Structure 1
Amino acid sequence: MSTPAVVIAAPASGSGKTTVATGLIGALRRAGHRVAPFKVGPDYIDPGYHGLAAGRPGRNLDPVLVGAERVVPLFRHGSAGCDLAVVEGVMGLFDGRIDEHHTDPIAEGSTAQIAAMLGAPVILVVDARGHSQSLAALLHGFATYDSGIRLGGVILNRVGSERHEQVLRAACACVGLPVLGALPRMPELAVPSRHLGLIPAVEHGSAAQAAVEAMTDLVAAHIDLGEVAALAASTAQGESWDPRTELVAAVLGSGASGSGLVAAGADSASDPGFGASGAALGGEAPSSFRPIGSSSDSLASNAGLASTVGPLARDLDPLSAEAGAVVAIAGGPAFTFGYTEHRELLAAAGAQVRVFDPLREELPSGTAGLVLPGGFPEEHAAELAANTGLLTEIAALAGRGLPIHAECAGLLYLTRTLDGHRMAGVIDAEAEFGPRLTLGYRDAVALTDSPLWRAGERVRGHEFHRTRLTIPGSAAPAWAWRSPSGETIREGATLHQVHASYLHTHPAGNPAAISRFVSAASDFARTHAPA
C-alpha cells in the first residue's frame, strides 16, 4: 500500500510553499505522525529544512533528472514506514521544464506531474496579499485546468485581517474548495536568503532550527491538521526503489548511464554527440538509447536481482564488495548540496562512506575516492584556504590518480583560486563570484572517459550557480550541450581520474556512474595499499 500524501503547491513562486510545507511537516510530526518529506525538482536547500522538521532526510522527486519511471519507486522508498508524506512543489503548480515542442498542459518536472504520478491531492497555497473576491476565478482556473489533478483544498497565506480572511473564504466557497487554514502575515518568519535562495539549514545552524520551530508553531495554530491528514491519499503503485537492484540493473544494462538512458548496442565512445548525431545534443536521446524502465530493464523485472548483487559485485570488484573502499564525501557548511540516494548507492556498491568537513578536517584515513558536492564555497573561501594541509593532500592524491567526483562547489574547490583565495590547484583555472545567475536543466554529452562516465553517454543535469571560471586549456572539457540558440557549450574539466563540472546530476538516475566510481576507488585502494 502506498503512503498517503499531500502535495503543497502554489499559483506562483514566492507564495510561501516552503513555510507552509516545513511547518506542516513539523506540526504533523509533533502531533504524532511519522512524516516523509519530499521536494519536487532539483532543489537542495528546502529538503534541509524539511529534514529538520521531520527528523528524517528530505528527498527530491525530479523526473527530469532521474527519469519518470523512478519517481514512484523513489517515493515509496523514501516514505517507507511513514504514516503520510508531504511533498513541496516547485514554482507554480503547472510550471516545469520549458520545451517549445511540449503541448501537454502538464509540463515535465512540474508539481502537477508529480501529483498525477503519485495520485495525491494538491493543497494550493495562495499569497493573499492583493486578493479579494477575484480569488474565486483564479482558483476555478487551477481546479479545472487539467482533469488529472485533484485540488483538495486551499491554505491562505499572509492574510491581512479577519475581514480579509472572511472575504477570501467566501471566494473559496464559491468554487467549492475548502480552506484548510489561514496564516497571518508574519515577516519575522522569513529565513535569511542570499544569491541562490535560502541559506542552507546546515549553515544557518541553531537559527535554522528556531525558524523551523516557528513555522511549526504557526502552522499548528492556524491550519487544521486533521483535515490535512484526512485529505492525504496516494494511488502510486509499483516496486520500491532499491539501490542494490539499481546497481545490478545498471551492470546488466551495459553500464551506461544518464537519467535512466542505457546504451543499446551503440559505440558511444566513438560518437560523443557531434557529426551525424549532433542534432541530439541538448535534445532527446537518439533511438539507439532506451529507458531502463522499458522491456527487460524495468525496475519491476529486476526486483528479484537484489539478492544477487553481492555475488555479482564480488565477481566484478572483490575489494569493493569485501573490504570496502573508503569514499570520502565533503560536507559541513561549504558543501551542503547532495541527494540522500547518493550515499545509499555508494554504500550499496560496496563503499565505506565517510563524511568530512573541509573547513577544519583532514581526509578520512584510507580515502580511495573523493566526492566534492555542491554548496557555497564562495561564502567560506577564506576558511577553506586556511586548511592548507587538506588542499595539499588532495592535490597530491589527484596527481596519483585518486578518483574525484566534483560538482559545482567541488569544481571551484579544485581550481587554483576562488575569489583570490588559494584552493587545491588540481584544475588550472581561477574562479570568481559573477554578476549573473546560471540556472536550468541541461541535456549533456560526456566528451571524455572518466571514473563515472564514458565518452558519448548522455546525461540530464542541472546548473545552479553565480560563479564563473577560466580554464586556459590544460584539462579536457567534461560535457557538451546545445543552448536554446543552438550554440555548443563545452563545460567542466577532466584530467587524471578527476571529473569536475558545474553540472549537478542525480545519482539515482545514473547508478552505473556510481558503480564505476566505486570500482575506480577500489582499484586505487588496491594499487596504493601499504606494503
Structure 2
Amino acid sequence: MAEAPGLMISAPSSGTGKTTVTLGLLRALTEDGLTVQPFKSGPDYIDPAFHQAACGRPSFNLDGWAMGADLWQAITHRAAGADICIAEGSMGLYDGVATRGMQGHGSSAETAQATGWPVVLVIDVSGQAQSAAATALGFRNYAPDLPFAGVILNRVASARHERLTRAGMERAGLPVLGVLPRRGDLTLPERHLGLIQAVEHPDLDAAIAGYARFLRDHVDLAALRGAAAGKDLPATPSALPAPPAQRIALARDAAFSFTYPHLLEGWRAAGAEILPFSPLADEAPAADADLVWLPGGYPELHAGRIAAADTFSEGLRRHARTRPVHGECGGYMVLGEGLIDKDGTRHRMAGLLGLETSYETRRFHLGYRRVVLETAMPGHAPGAALRGHEFHYCTILDQPDAPLARVTDADGAPVAETGSVRGHATGTFFHLIAAENHP
C-alpha cells in the first residue's frame, strides 16, 4: 500500500515548544486543504485531544515499549487516506527506558525510525546563538541513520540573534525550517500531569488558530511539506484491541477523560456500544450496560462534587452487585472508600473497593508498567500479561483488598501499586495500553 508521508516534531527536551508547533502545524495544513493525521509518540493521554481539536481527526499513540508489531501496524494504518501525518514526540528525542519493550525503548527517535517520518527538531535558543548548532548537530549525529528534516529555532530574541543562530546551523549543514520569535503568550496552561485537558481550555479554538497564524508567518510550510516522507503502510492492517464487553458505560467528563484513543476506536470497530455518562453531572451509568468503565482524569479537583453525586454512586453500586466495574487511576480512586484532597479534606467515594488515597502529601508515581493478572479484569483472563503506564501524584494510605496483579516497572522491578479486586469491582493505577498477546 502507498506510503504515509509524515514528520516527527521533537526536541532536545520537554518545554521547548513542540506542542505549540505541532498544534499550529496541524491547523495550518488543515486550513490549506490537506487531510492531516495526527499521532503522539509515547504514553500520553492529554495531547491527543488537543491534536484532534486542531485538525478534526482523532490522534493515536504509538509506543515502542508497550505495543507489539500487530497493534503498531493497526494504529499506523489510521494514516490511510491522509495527505500527511504529523507526530508529536515525548520529552527529548532519544528519551526512553533502559530495558527494551515489545518493539523498543519507547523513544520518539524509534517511532521516527519505524515510520520513516523525518525529525523536525524544535530548539529553544534562549541564551545562546551559534552554540545551538552544536546541540542540534549532536542530535542529528547521535543516530546517523535517523531520518532528519531540519530544525525550527524557537524563542529567538532579535534579528541579530537570528543571524548568529542561523550562521551556526549553516556551518553545521542543518536546514532551518522556521524561526519563531520569543512570545510570552504561546504557553498552554499546565497542571501537575502536564497540559490542562482540551475540554477545560477557555478558548482552545482561538488559541490554536493563533498558533497557525504564527507558524504561517515564521515557518516555511512548503519546505516542511516537501521534507515529509514515510514507509509503506501494510495492505491488510491488524485489528485494534477487542472490547471488554458489548455495552460499555464509559464515564466521560472533566474528571474522567484519560482513555487511550486506540482502545475506544477498537471497541467501536468491533461493534461495542459506548454509553457515555457524566459523574460530575450526577448521571448514573446505563442500567442495561454490561460493564462500567471509569477512566483516569482529575477526580481530586472535583472530589466534593463526586462525593455529593448520589445518583451516580447509587447507580454504580447497583451495577456492581451483578456486573463488572473497572477503574483506572483516577477512576480507581473513585471506586475506593475515600479520597483526601490537597487541603486535607476527606471525601467519601463509592466504597466498592477499600482503597484510601491522599493528595495532601503528594508522592510522584511515573513510568511504564508490565502487569500479570492474578485474577480476571474486564476483557482479560487470569495470567494475561498487559502493558500500561502510571502517572499520578497521590499517596496510598490503605490498599486492603486482594491484589489484582503482579506489577513491575519497565526494568522488571516490583511495583507496590498492584491494583485491587473485590467482588465485581476491579481497579488499577496503570492505564492500559495493550495486551502482550494482541490481537
Same fold (TM over 0.5): yes
Once the two structures are TM-superposed, the CA of residue 465 in structure 1 deviates from its matched residue by 0.4
**Partner Cα separation in structure 2 for residue 393 and residue 232 of structure 1:** 50
Once the two structures are TM-superposed, the CA of residue 173 in structure 1 deviates from its matched residue by 0.9
**Partner Cα separation in structure 2 for residue 485 and residue 59 of structure 1:** 27
**Partner Cα separation in structure 1 for residue 87 and residue 159 of structure 2:** 29
Once the two structures are TM-superposed, the CA of residue 430 in structure 1 deviates from its matched residue by 1.9
Contact 2:385 2:435 in 1 (8 A): no
Cα offsets for 1:411-445 (capped at 9, x unmatched): 01111222212221111222221422210012222
Corresponding residue number in structure 1 for 2:325: 404
Corresponding residue number in structure 1 for 2:343: none
Aligned partner (choices 368, 384, 388) of residue 441 of structure 1 = 368
Cα offsets for 1:484-528 (capped at 9, x unmatched): 69556351101222220101111576756xxxxxxxxxxxxxxxx
Which structure's residues are more often helix, by fraction?
1
Once the two structures are TM-superposed, the CA of residue 36 in structure 1 deviates from its matched residue by 0.6
Corresponding residue number in structure 2 for 1:200: 197
Distance 1:472 1:145, change over 3 A: closer
Contact 1:385 1:422 in 2 (8 A): yes
When the two chains are superposed, the root-mean-square deviation of aligned CA atoms in Å is 2.4
**Partner Cα separation in structure 1 for residue 40 and residue 378 of structure 2:** 29
Contact 1:119 1:236 in 2 (8 A): no
SS in structure 1 of the partner of residue 27 of structure 2: helix
Aligned partner (choices 354, 373, 380) of residue 428 of structure 1 = 354
**Partner Cα separation in structure 1 for residue 212 and residue 414 of structure 2:** 47
Once the two structures are TM-superposed, the CA of residue 350 in structure 1 deviates from its matched residue by 3.5
- The residue identity in structure 1 corresponding to 2:82 is C
Contact 1:328 1:367 in 2 (8 A): yes
Corresponding residue number in structure 2 for 1:317: none
Cα offsets for 1:442-496 (capped at 9, x unmatched): 22221223333333322221110011333352x2111223466955635110122
Once the two structures are TM-superposed, the CA of residue 107 in structure 1 deviates from its matched residue by 6.0
- The residue identity in structure 1 corresponding to 2:348 is R
Once the two structures are TM-superposed, the CA of residue 235 in structure 1 deviates from its matched residue by 1.4
Corresponding residue number in structure 2 for 1:289: none
Once the two structures are TM-superposed, the CA of residue 81 in structure 1 deviates from its matched residue by 2.1
Distance 1:333 1:241, change over 3 A: farther
Distance 1:470 1:454, change over 3 A: farther
SS in structure 1 of the partner of residue 129 of structure 2: coil
Cα offsets for 1:323-376 (capped at 9, x unmatched): xx4211111111121122222222344421111221112323422211111111
**Partner Cα separation in structure 2 for residue 215 and residue 389 of structure 1:** 42
Does 2:390 correspond to 1:469? no
Corresponding residue number in structure 1 for 2:19: 18
Does 2:36 correspond to 1:35? yes
Cα offsets for 1:382-420 (capped at 9, x unmatched): 2222221111110121122x2222110110111122221
After superposing on structure 2, the runs of 4+ consecutive aligned residues of structure 1 that deviate more than 6 Å are: none
**Partner Cα separation in structure 2 for residue 3 and residue 94 of structure 1:** 23
Once the two structures are TM-superposed, the CA of residue 39 in structure 1 deviates from its matched residue by 0.6
SS in structure 2 of the partner of residue 412 of structure 1: helix
- The residue identity in structure 2 corresponding to 1:196 is L
Corresponding residue number in structure 1 for 2:314: 392
Does 2:37 correspond to 1:115? no
Once the two structures are TM-superposed, the CA of residue 240 in structure 1 deviates from its matched residue by 5.3
Aligned partner (choices 322, 326, 339) of residue 247 of structure 2 = 326
Matched positions, count: 429
SS in structure 2 of the partner of residue 65 of structure 1: coil
Once the two structures are TM-superposed, the CA of residue 170 in structure 1 deviates from its matched residue by 1.1
**Partner Cα separation in structure 1 for residue 147 and residue 165 of structure 2:** 21
Distance 1:351 1:194, change over 3 A: same
Corresponding residue number in structure 1 for 2:220: 224
**Partner Cα separation in structure 1 for residue 295 and residue 374 of structure 2:** 21
Corresponding residue number in structure 2 for 1:90: 90
Once the two structures are TM-superposed, the CA of residue 139 in structure 1 deviates from its matched residue by 2.0
SS in structure 2 of the partner of residue 189 of structure 1: coil
SS in structure 1 of the partner of residue 20 of structure 2: helix
**Partner Cα separation in structure 1 for residue 44 and residue 65 of structure 2:** 13
Corresponding residue number in structure 2 for 1:80: 80
Corresponding residue number in structure 2 for 1:369: 291
SS in structure 1 of the partner of residue 290 of structure 2: strand
Does 2:419 correspond to 1:492? yes
Once the two structures are TM-superposed, the CA of residue 181 in structure 1 deviates from its matched residue by 0.7
Cα offsets for 1:2-38 (capped at 9, x unmatched): 2210011111121111111111111111111111111
Q: What TM-score do the two structures reach when normalised by structure 2?
A: 0.91
Does 2:58 correspond to 1:57? yes
**Partner Cα separation in structure 1 for residue 431 and residue 191 of structure 2:** 20
